[in-house]
């Protein structure tokens, strides 16, 4: 098997459900040290939340006071659970890394141990090509918690590294971004994520006397129909129109003969950089104000009590608005999970990465901002970042898989990215 497939096999065979700890980090530390990287294992949190991360930098030979350009590779070694259901079964042990007819099966094959393997093989190829003439630094940051709550993953590790004086000039995040063929799509930005809770408080009563009650469930259903017509924006050149989904409705009524006095729903919104988190909230507040025929919002946004265990700039934006309308109180609470971000598609970094991909694949590399978010959102404050990885069709799915030819193509692309970055 080619080297990149050996690396992918070795990584998949470490069983690393999120948050990952343990032997995989020792394996990586050894590998990095043998290639001249100075590696440090960073363990944060404790108990069930304990998360291991590894950061390594390979300094180009030369005077130690010289500051070299540095390309970082960002990734995660944790994986989502590999469970079979009543309707879907894994054909192969998800951690055996079985190869069948040129396809490597296993949890993490594309998300994202396959990409890490490709980056390792690309480093080997690059170092072999440049030998002592290397004039740039290569860094690699791998977290053990990207798929989970990620409290002790990339964000705090980056903060610690920046405080220690680390700097980078560009970052490739190995999330699976490709669609039909490897390298056909990269992501130069990601949508933001906002969670809303809509609560209706009415008056409970007897179903035989509904005129004496204010039915919160019925009122919530009406309001949610209106939320379904809310279009936050039309999108722009970089982002598709923002989307909204009702994800849960809770009444919790224990009796069939009671008109419920309380009901609430959860609403998820994925939004582009057309909006800031504040203008997104304002847009929904204006929409609901119109629907509820309340001209002025009686209560201003009131911030919820701050969680003082996290630094102010890292605290999520949250708050609520309240309306009194037609005998009901309607409360909209919001909590920002992540803000949208964008790396300038015309920047020299993005152009150089796309050019490198196209040199290898001989077909266009499209830039998109669709799908979920990634840890690139934590990097973007420190250097330009782009997500570029394997095909995403089987990520998080039963029988997650990658073609060996795709791994080889990914290795070639990363090697070309390294070469182009340092040639610039
Ligand atoms: Zn991933």
pLDDT tens track for 294-323: 644 444 444 444 444 444 445 567 889 999
Distance in Å, CA 228 to ligand 1 centroid: 30
Distance between CA 393 and CA 290 in Å, rounded? 41
Residue extents of the structural domains in the chain: 3-190+341-423, 192-338
pLDDT at 47: 87
pLDDT at 300: 46
> Nearest CA to 284 among 196, 190, 219, 370?
196
Distance in Å, CA 150 to ligand 1 centroid: 12
Q: Are 116 and 11 in contact (CB under 8 A)?
A: yes
User: pLDDT (tens digit, 9 = 90+) per residue, 26-61?
Assistant: 999 999 999 999 999 999 998 888 999 999 999 987
Distance between CA 402 and CA 105 in Å, rounded? 7
CA quadruple 400, 404, 410, 414: dihedral positive or negative? positive
Which DSSP string corresponds to 200-264? EE-B-EETT-GGGSB-HHHHHHHHHHHHTT-------SSSPPPEEEEEEEE-----TTEE-SEEE
Question: So what's the architecture of 192-338 in CATH?
Answer: 2-Layer Sandwich (3.30)
Catalytic residue among 78, 111, 387, 400: 78
Distance in Å, CA 395 to ligand 1 centroid: 8
What is the mean pLDDT of the segment spanning 193-199? 95
* Per-chain residues with Cβ under 5 A from ion ligand 1: 111-112, 175
Catalytic (active site) residue 93 = no
Q: Please state whether 337 falls in left (phi above 0), alpha (psi between -120 and 50) or beta.
A: alpha
Distance between CA 226 and CA 205 in Å, rounded? 26
Q: Are 355 and 349 in contact (CB under 8 A)?
A: no
Distance in Å, CA 341 to ligand 1 centroid: 18
Distance of CA 418 to the CA centre of its chain: 24
Catalytic (active site) residue 146 = yes
Distance between CA 315 and CA 377 in Å, rounded? 15
Distance between CA 388 and CA 147 in Å, rounded? 17
Query: 3-190+341-423, which class in CATH?
Result: alpha beta
Distance in Å, CA 45 to ligand 1 centroid: 21
Q: Which two tokens stand for residue 347?
A: 């920047």
User: pLDDT (tens digit, 9 = 90+) per residue, 217-270?
Assistant: 999 999 999 999 999 999 999 999 999 999 999 999 999 999 999 999 999 999
Distance in Å, CA 179 to ligand 1 centroid: 15
Catalytic residue among 146, 199, 387, 411: 146
């Amino acid at each position: 098997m080619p080297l990149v497939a050996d690396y992918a096999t070795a990584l998949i065979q470490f069983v690393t459900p999120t948050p990952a700890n343990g032997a995989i980090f020792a394996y990586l530390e050894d590998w990095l040290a043998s290639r001249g990287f100075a590696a440090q294992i960073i363990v944060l949190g404790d108990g069930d939340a304990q998360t291991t991360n590894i950061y390594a930098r390979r300094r180009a030979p030369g005077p130690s006071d010289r500051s070299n350009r540095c390309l970082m590779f960002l990734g995660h070694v944790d994986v989502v659970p590999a469970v079979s259901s009543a309707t879907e079964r894994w054909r192969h042990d998800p951690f055996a890394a079985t190869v069948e007819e040129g396809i490597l099966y296993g949890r993490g094959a594309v998300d994202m141990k396959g990409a890490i393997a490709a980056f390792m093989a690309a480093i080997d190829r690059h170092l072999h090509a440049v030998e002592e003439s290397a004039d740039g630094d290569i860094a690699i940051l791998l977290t053990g918690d990207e798929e989970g709550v990620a409290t002790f993953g990339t964000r705090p590790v980056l903060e610690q590294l920046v405080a220690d004086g680390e700097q980078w000039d560009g970052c490739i995040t190995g999330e699976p971004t490709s669609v039909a063929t490897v390298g056909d799509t990269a992501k130069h930005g990601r949508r933001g994520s906002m969670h809303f809770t809509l609560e209706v408080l009415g008056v409970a009563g007897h179903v035989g006397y509904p005129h004496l009650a204010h039915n919160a469930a019925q009122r919530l259903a009406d309001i949610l129909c209106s939320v379904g017509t809310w279009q936050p924006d039309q999108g722009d050149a970089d982002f598709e129109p923002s989307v909204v989904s009702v994800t849960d409705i809770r009444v919790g009524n224990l009796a069939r003969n009671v008109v419920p006095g309380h009901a609430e729903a959860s609403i998820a919104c994925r939004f582009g950089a057309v909006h800031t988190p504040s203008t997104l909230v304002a847009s929904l507040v204006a929409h609901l104000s119109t629907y509820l025929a309340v001209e002025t919002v009686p209560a201003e946004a009131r911030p919820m009590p701050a969680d003082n265990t996290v630094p102010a700039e890292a605290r999520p934006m949250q708050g609520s608005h309240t309306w009194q309308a037609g005998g009901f109180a309607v409360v909209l609470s919001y909590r920002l999970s992540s803000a949208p971000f964008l790396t300038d598609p015309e920047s020299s970094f993005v152009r150089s990465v796309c050019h490198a991909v196209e040199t290898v694949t001989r077909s266009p590399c499209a830039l998109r901002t669709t799908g979920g978010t990634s840890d690139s959102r934590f990097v973007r404050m420190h250097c330009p970042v782009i997500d570029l990885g394997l095909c995403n069709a089987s990520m998080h799915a039963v029988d997650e898989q990658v073609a060996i030819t795709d791994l080889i193509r990914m290795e070639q692309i990363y090697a070309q990215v390294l070469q182009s970055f340092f040639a610039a």
